Amino acid sequence: MTVLRSSLMETNATLDIPVMNDAIEKVRQLAEGAWGGMRLSGDDLRSLPKGPWAAGWRFRLSVLNELKDLDLVLDETFPWSAPRLYLKRPPALGTFPHLEGDGFVCVFQSRTPVDPSEPVGIVRAYLNQVLSLAHQWSDSAWVNEEIAGEYLSYLEHGMASKPIRSLVSPLDYQSSVAYACRRKSCTLMAATESDLSAWLHNLSGQPQRPVKLEEAVILRFADLPSPQSIPRNAKQLIDLAEALGERELLEERLMEKPKPVLVGVVLPTEPHPTMIGYDIPAPRLETQRGQKHVTAGFRPQKMSAEVLIARRAGAGIKTSPLEVERIDASWIHGRDQIPDVDFLRGKKVTIVGCGSLGSGVAVLLAKAGVGNLNLVDSETLRSENVSRHELGVSNIGKRKASALAERIRTGFPHIRHVGASGKRWQTVVQDQPDLILEADLLVVAIGSWSDEGELETWRVEQDQPLPTIFGWLEPHGVAAHAVSLADNGPCLGCGLTEFGQSRLKVTAWLDGSTVRTHPACGGAFQPYGAAQLAHGQSLVADLSLDFLMGRSGHSHRIWSAPERVVQAVGGSWTNEWKVFTEQTFKHGGEFEQQWIRRPECRICGGKS
């Protein structure tokens, strides 16, 4: 440790820690010996933030040719936890990268794993890294680049009474005005009044009373400023607006009725722009003994605009930058890093069958960012459905389609449309044909060959057959199938037997039927659990997304559970599956083949 120099202070008192474990003792021997560190007393440890600390040592670190005290501290879970390094009397936040406002150095990324069998090696690595950082802090180009990459970490955020949440994407939004409403839980900001109303409607599940809106001002930096130059009072915010050509707009808001003014500031950070917010407080209007108010010394309506602005937005009006939490689609579905989201937002998918398979597919498509969903299912949720369904006990007795649509709307209120029909698909085709015919994709997960065969016959008879994906499970949920059909290609029947089973079956069952019953008419069911079901849901949803993105044609995807799972419920592999996989199949997985037209098909007759 040649660059780290030991403190010249006298040795401190004995550590105020009852027991030192072997790992800490090994570090102590080197820290106080070869490394020349000075042991921290119990009082020293208690004075440090983010404690409690079990042990610590002080070194001297050269930073820009100036010696600074650097404390190495260990907590009581060391060596399973990483050591921390604390710089006494740190410079202002944002001066050096990887240095927190409270003085702790971010030596490595959070949750970096450590080897508990090498406590001395862990500490050595952290000390070496802080030496490297101290050297790089003298390189201004490197400092600026690192701060830009983690910019929001170096802003001293103010404390808001409630969070600011935004449906505005800083990447796409170019207007200087947004709309906001102040709710009990948060201040909500959006590009248009209709966006706000739709979001609130979806969140509550009910039509909203007219919301009280205000216009927020959006300022946009062309170049990324240093963290220290970010406005810290209302006067600096006004000056920023003037520099960006928006002073008049901001002053108009300040001159309106006495109320807070919300300002969003877009920063050109990488890899995507970000936004911070300011809330200029409402002025005090009532005269209170001993307190000044915004109109003090002036008769009503006689105060000039210049004086009013100076009092509303002067240097004495503190307003710190506030974190703006994004809740727009591009952020929620991938933090601006998944380019498919914008495309999927405009797509319409209708799902017929919202049972165990279809309900999971609907939720996965919503999570992926599909912006328009319509759900069709005539059944109600029963208690025996709950363990395999996306809905829970609170929805027993409700229509599956409408209850599921409400759950998706409230969970993802930014989604453009989630509709539901509690009717059979045959009725929907007659009464609301656009619900199906105008979809970009129809997903069918009814689980009944009679219904699905009838639907496929209807689809094939259309002048332009609707792109459709059929999904189903094999007994006990240990295998799943998803088939995508488009244009005038093969139909579903081309790959099925006359009884609606895939010609490429995965499993065989020695005891014949796998259907179970309970003592009621029509009480037959297939026993399977949620774990196997999740694979089937993912298979169908993944093929649906690939199809929407143009990455799949007439495909047949198959998932199978591992052999141990199949055997545990009395099943085995079929001969055709063994031939298809070309191996002694043990571990399960996903496979794909092309869905082929058959001239002898009973539904389409192989027509082109």
Q: Looking at beta carbons, which pairs linking 427-430 to residues 24 or more positions away fall under 8 Å?
A: 427/378, 428/376, 429/458
At residue 156, the pLDDT reads 83
Helix (H, G, I), strand (E, B) or coil at 594: strand
| Portion of the chain with pLDDT greater than 70, in percent | 89
Is the pLDDT at 224 greater than 70? The verdict is yes
Least confident interval from 288-297, 320-329, 335-344: 288-297
Q: Is 64 exposed, middle or buried (0-12, 13-18, 19+ CB in 10 A)?
A: exposed
Within 10 Å of residue 393's Cβ, how many Cβ atoms? 8
Distance separating alpha carbons of residues 282 and 265, to the nearest angstrom: 19
Q: What is the 3-state composition of the chain as percent helix, strand, coil, each rounded to the nearest 5?
A: 35, 20, 45
Is the pLDDT at 301 greater than 70? The verdict is no
Q: pLDDT-based confidence at 16, cuts 50/70/90?
A: very low
Q: pLDDT-based confidence at 543, cuts 50/70/90?
A: very high
CB-side exposure of 296: number of CA atoms within 13 Å? 13
Q: pLDDT-based confidence at 13, cuts 50/70/90?
A: very low
Alpha carbon 176 to its chain's center? 27
- Structure token digits, residue 184: 């009990």
Least confident interval from 306-320, 507-521, 533-547: 507-521
22-32 and 119-136 are packed helices; what angle lies between their axes, rounded to 10 degrees? 50
Q: pLDDT-based confidence at 585, cuts 50/70/90?
A: low
375 contact partners, CB below 8 Å, separation of at least 6: 350, 351, 354, 358, 362, 400, 401, 402, 404, 405, 418, 419, 420, 421
Is the pLDDT at 553 greater than 90? The verdict is no
Q: pLDDT-based confidence at 117, cuts 50/70/90?
A: confident
Within 10 Å of residue 603's Cβ, how many Cβ atoms? 20
Mean pLDDT value of segment 11-23: 47
Dihedral sign, CA of 147, 149, 151, 154?
negative
CA distances to 65, 211, 225 from 137, in Å: 11, 50, 19
| Portion of the chain with pLDDT greater than 90, in percent | 68
What is the rounded average pLDDT for all residues in the chain? 88
What tens digit of pLDDT does each residue of 559-584 get?
999 989 999 888 999 999 988 988 66
Mean pLDDT value of segment 324-351: 94
Mean pLDDT value of segment 459-479: 94
At residue 1, the pLDDT reads 37
At residue 298, the pLDDT reads 55
Q: Which of the listed ranges 46-50, 104-108, 167-171, 362-366 does the model predict with the highest average pLDDT?
A: 362-366
At residue 342, the pLDDT reads 92
Is the pLDDT at 58 greater than 80? The verdict is yes
Mean pLDDT value of segment 405-416: 96
Q: Is 566 exposed, middle or buried (0-12, 13-18, 19+ CB in 10 A)?
A: buried
210 contact partners, CB below 8 Å, separation of at least 6: none
Residue with the bigger pLDDT between 547 and 34: it is 547
Q: pLDDT-based confidence at 315, cuts 50/70/90?
A: confident
Q: What are phi and psi of 241, to 5 degrees?
A: -60, -40
Least confident interval from 2-16, 160-174, 293-307, 528-542: 2-16
At residue 284, the pLDDT reads 65
At residue 285, the pLDDT reads 55
Is the pLDDT at 212 greater than 80? The verdict is yes
- Structure token digits, residue 567: 């055997």
What tens digit of pLDDT does each residue of 150-188 get?
999 998 888 777 899 999 999 889 999 999 999 999 999
Is the pLDDT at 4 greater than 80? The verdict is no
Q: pLDDT-based confidence at 243, cuts 50/70/90?
A: very high
Q: Which helix (H) or strand (E) holds 275?
A: strand 274-280
447 contact partners, CB below 8 Å, separation of at least 6: 353, 355, 357, 472, 473
Residue with the bigger pLDDT between 77 and 454: it is 454
CB-side exposure of 362: number of CA atoms within 13 Å? 37
Q: pLDDT-based confidence at 19, cuts 50/70/90?
A: very low
Check: CB of residue 363 under 8 Å from CB of residue 342: no
What tens digit of pLDDT does each residue of 489-503 get?
999 999 999 889 999
Is the pLDDT at 479 greater than 90? The verdict is yes
At residue 22, the pLDDT reads 86
Nearest to 321 by CA among 266, 249, 253, 363: 266
Distance separating alpha carbons of residues 530 and 387, to the nearest angstrom: 7
CA angle 491, 582, 559 (to 5 degrees): 50
Nearest to 125 by CA among 89, 93, 87, 79: 79
At residue 11, the pLDDT reads 32
